[in-house]
Amino acid sequence: MSELKIIVCIKKIPDPEAPPKAVSIDSEAKRVTFTGVAPMINPFDENALEAAIRLKEANGGYITVLSLGEKKSKQVLSKAFAVGIDKLILINDANLKDLDSYSRAYVLSKAIERIGKYDIIFTGRQAGDWDSGQTGLLLAEFLQIPSINLVRSVEVEDGELIVKKVKPDGYEVAKTKIPALITASNEIGELRYVSVKQLIEARKEPVDIWNDDDLGLDQQKLRRLGIVDLYKPEIEKECYFVEGESPQEKGENLAILLVEKDSVISA
Amino acid sequence: MSVNGVLVCGEITREGDIDSITLELLSIGRRLAESSGEKLIVALFGDGIGKAAEEVAYYGADMVYKVESPLLEGLNVDIWVEAVDGLYREIQPKILLMGQTATGMDIAPRLAFKLNTPLTTDCTDLNVDAEDGLLLRTKPVYGGNVSGVFKYQEEPQFVTVRTKAFEPVERGSAKCEIIPFNPDIDRSMIKVESIERVKEEVVELDKAEVIVAAGRGIEEPENLEKLQELLDLLKRYFDSGEIGCSRPLVDQGWLSSPHQVGLTGQKVAPQLYIAIGISGASQHVAGISGAKKVVAINKSSEAPIFKIADYGVVGEYEETLPAFKQKLEEIL
Ligand SMILES: Cc1cc2nc3c(=O)[nH]c(=O)nc-3n(C[C@H](O)[C@H](O)[C@H](O)COP(=O)(O)OP(=O)(O)OC[C@H]3O[C@@H](n4cnc5c(N)ncnc54)[C@H](O)[C@@H]3O)c2cc1C
Ligand SMILES: Nc1ncnc2c1ncn2[C@@H]1O[C@H](COP(=O)(O)O)[C@@H](O)[C@H]1O
C-alpha cells in the first residue's frame, strides 16, 4: 500500500493544570485571562500526535499538522516537528477568533479540502479550554467521512481502519473504510519524550500560514461562541487539618475523627 | 401538527432498566418545561424496551415515545443518530436534552450537525431566559476553573447534561401515555461497523458509597494493594465501594479507564471519598462535587485538593495509611 497521508488537528491552550488563582475573568470583554501560565499543545492532541507517529512508523506516511489559532502559537506547535511530523499549517486570521466548535470544524474542513488527498484525520477527544468535545466529530460531518470517537488504539489493514474504542466497561473493536476521522483518548498513549535540544531545532522548521482568503470561507457559516457570562465558581470548603506529632498519629486521629466525631463511618 | 415541547432522550442500561441519567434529565426537563410552558416528553430507544417504557411513564413526563427497532440493538452510533433525527422531525421539540454519557458524547455532536443547531455539551445548570425564552446554558470551562453561561438563537435549543448534576426525579403514581414510534432506519446507514464488544472490568464508581482513590503520589502500582486493603475494611461499613483514580494511573496502565474519576472520567457521589496522593487538578475535582465527605492525604500542604476537602492529612501516605487502618479496626 502507498504511504499513508495523515492529518492531525492540534490546538494551543493555556496549561490546563494552572491553579485557580492564575485564572481571572475580564467580565467586560467576556474573556478568561491567565497570569504566569505556560501555553502548550492540548494534551489529547499530543495523544493524537503520538498515534499518528506510530502509524507512520508502522506503515510509512506523511503527517500534516493543522491548527487554527494565533500567530504566536507557532513556537508551541513546532514541538510537533521534534517528534517527526512533515508539515505544519497554521490558519490565522483576525476574523477567525472566538468561533464555536461548529465553525472551527468548518474552517478546518476547508483547510483540509485545500490540502487535498488524505487517509486519516486525527483530533483530540476534547480541548482543555472550552471542554467542548465536538470539533472532531463535526469536522468529519463537514467532510462527509466516517468518524470514531474516543479511540485507544488504531491499525490500518487493507484500506480499512481497525480501532479499539473506549467503552464504560471495556472497549469495542470497530472498523471503517479510509478516509476516516478518529478522536484520540489518552489511553492511546502519551507523546514521546522530546529533549530541549530537539525543541530548539524544531523551532527552525518553516510553518505555512493560511488566512481567511486562502480558504474561501462562507462568512455565513462562522458562528461565534454565545457567551453571556463568565465567572469563577465558588467551590472552596473549609478544610479541617488533622493534627498529630507524626504521620502515624495523624492517621489514628483521622480514624477517630471519621468514626467518633463525624460518624461518616459507623459500625 | 407537531408536539414541540422539551424532549429528553433517555438511556437504558444494558440490563434493560432505566438509566439514572434519564431521571436526572427528567428532573431538569420538568423545570424547563414549566418555565417555558411546554410539554415534557421522554424518548427511549432500543429493541424490546417495553418494560422500561412502561416504567418511565411514572416519572412526571407528559408523554413517552418508545422508539423500537431491531437495528437499535447494540447502539450503533450512525443508526442511533438517524433514529433521534427522525423522532426530532416528528416532534419538533424546542429544547432537546441528552446526557453527557458515553452514548451522548457520540451522538449529540453528529446530531447537532444534522439539525444545524449549536450544541452546548456537559451543562451543569440550565435556565430559561425570561426575556426571550432562550436557554441559558451553564457549563464549566477551563477544566472547571471557570463557569460559562452561553445562549444561542437556533432551534432546537440543544444541550448535553453532566451526569449527577441534577437529582433524579422521584417516581409518581400517575402514568402518562406511551406512543410507539417506528424510525426510518436501515443497515445502509452504518458507516462504522462494530466487530466485537469486550468487557474488561465493571467498576460501579457512580453507585459506590465509599471510594478510595489513588493518584500519582502512590508512586508504584504495587501500592494499590494497600489501598485495596483499606477499601476492603471500609466495605464492611458501607453497602458498596470501589477503587477510583486520577488520570495518570490510567495513562500508565496501572488501572483500567473505568476507574478514572473526573471531567473525562466518572462523576461520583459517595458518602466518603478518600483521595490519596492526588493533587486535586480542577479536571479531577470536576468528578467529585457530589461527594458528601472528602478526605485528602497528601504530602504537600499546598496541594489544591485541600481546597475542596473536608478533612486533610498533610503527610506521606505510606506512614499515615497503616495507622489509619489499624485504628479503624480497633474502634469499629
Ligand atoms: C481536558 C482534560 C481532561 C482531564 N480529565 C481528567 C479526569 O477526568 N480525571 C483526572 O484525574 N485528571 C484529568 N485530567 C488531568 C489533570 O489535569 C491532572 O493531570 C491529573 O488529575 C493529575 O493527577 P494526580 O493528581 O494523580 O497527579 P499529580 O498532579 O502529579 O499529583 C500527585 C500528588 O501526590 C502527592 N504525593 C506525592 N508523593 C506522595 C506521598 N508519598 N504521600 C502523599 N502524597 C504524595 C503530591 O504532593 C501531588 O500533590 C484532564 C486534563 C485535561 C486537560
Ligand atoms: N483551533 C483548533 N485548531 C486545530 N484543532 C482544533 C482546534 N479546535 C479544536 N481542535 C481539535 O478538535 C478537538 C476537540 O476540540 P473541542 O471540540 O474544542 O473540545 C481538539 O482536541 C483538537 O484536536
> Chain A residue with minimal CA distance to B136?
A228
Q: Please give the sequence-ordered ranges of beta strands (E in DSSP) within chain B, or none if there are none.
A: 6-9, 40-46, 63-68, 95-99, 119-123, 125-128, 135-141, 146-150, 157-161, 177-181, 193-199, 210-214, 241-245, 272-276, 293-298, 311-314
Indicate the DSSP class of residue A261.
I
Q: Are strands A87-91 and A61-68 parallel, antiparallel or unpaired?
A: parallel
* Residue closest to A52 by CA, chosen among A126, A143, A132, A118: A118
Taking an 8 Å cut-off on Cβ atoms, the answer to whether B118 and A102 are in contact is yes
User: Which residues on A lie below 8 Å from B264 (Cβ)?
Assistant: 125-126, 185-186
Q: Which of B166, B5, B186, B18 is nearest to B96 (CA)?
A: B5
Ligand positioned closest to the Cα atom of A104: 2
Q: Give which of A100, A113, A109, A66 is closest to A209, Cα–Cα.
A: A66
Could you tell me if A227 lies within 8 Å of chain B, comparing CB atoms?
yes
Q: What is the dihedral of CA B148, B149, B152, B153, to 10 degrees?
A: -170
Task: Name every protein residue with a CB atom under 6 angstroms from any ligand 2 atom.
Answer: A 9-11, 42, 44-45, 48, 66-69, 101, 104, 123-124, 126-127, 130, 132-136
Average of per-residue pLDDT values in chain A = 95
Please answer whether residues B279 and B302 qualify as being in contact, where contact means their C-beta atoms are separated by less than 8 angstroms: no
Mean pLDDT of A75-96: 96
CB pair distance less than 8 Å for B150 and A137 = no
Contact A226 B150 (CB under 8 A): yes
Which DSSP category does B180 fall into? E
Point out the residues of chain B with pLDDT beneath 50: none
Are residues A95 and A37 in contact, defined by beta-carbon separation less than 8 angstroms? no
CA separation, residue B61 to residues B84, B161, B293 (Å): 18, 18, 33
pLDDT tens, A192-249? 999 999 999 999 999 999 999 999 999 988 999 999 999 999 877 899 999 999 999 9
Nearest C-alpha in B relative to A146 = B191
Interchain pair B109, A101: CB under 8 A: yes
Q: Check residue B271 and give its pLDDT.
A: 97
Residues 6+ apart with CB under 8 A from B192: A146, A147, A148, A174, A175, A176, A180, B76, B77, B78
How high is the pLDDT of residue B308? Answer: 95
Residue nearest to atom 7 of ligand 1 (CA): B262
Q: How confident is the model at residue A234, as a pLDDT?
A: 85
Residue of A nearest to B321 (CA): A251
pLDDT of residue B48: 92
Q: How far apart are CA A214 and CA A112, in angstroms?
A: 12
Best of B320, B321, B329, B332 to mutate (most A CBs within 10 Å, chain A): B320
The pLDDT assigned to A1 comes to 54
Question: What is the structure's pLDDT at A2?
Answer: 73
Question: What is the C-alpha to C-alpha distance for residues A206 and B325, in angstroms, rounded to an integer?
Answer: 59
Residue nearest to atom 14 of ligand 2 (CA): A126
**B149/A17 Cβ within 8 A:** no
Q: Which residues pair with A176 in a beta bridge?
A: A161
Q: What is the pLDDT of residue B1?
A: 61
Q: What is the pLDDT of residue A150?
A: 98
pLDDT one-digit tens code per residue, A142-199: 999 999 999 999 999 999 999 999 999 999 999 999 999 999 999 999 999 999 999 9
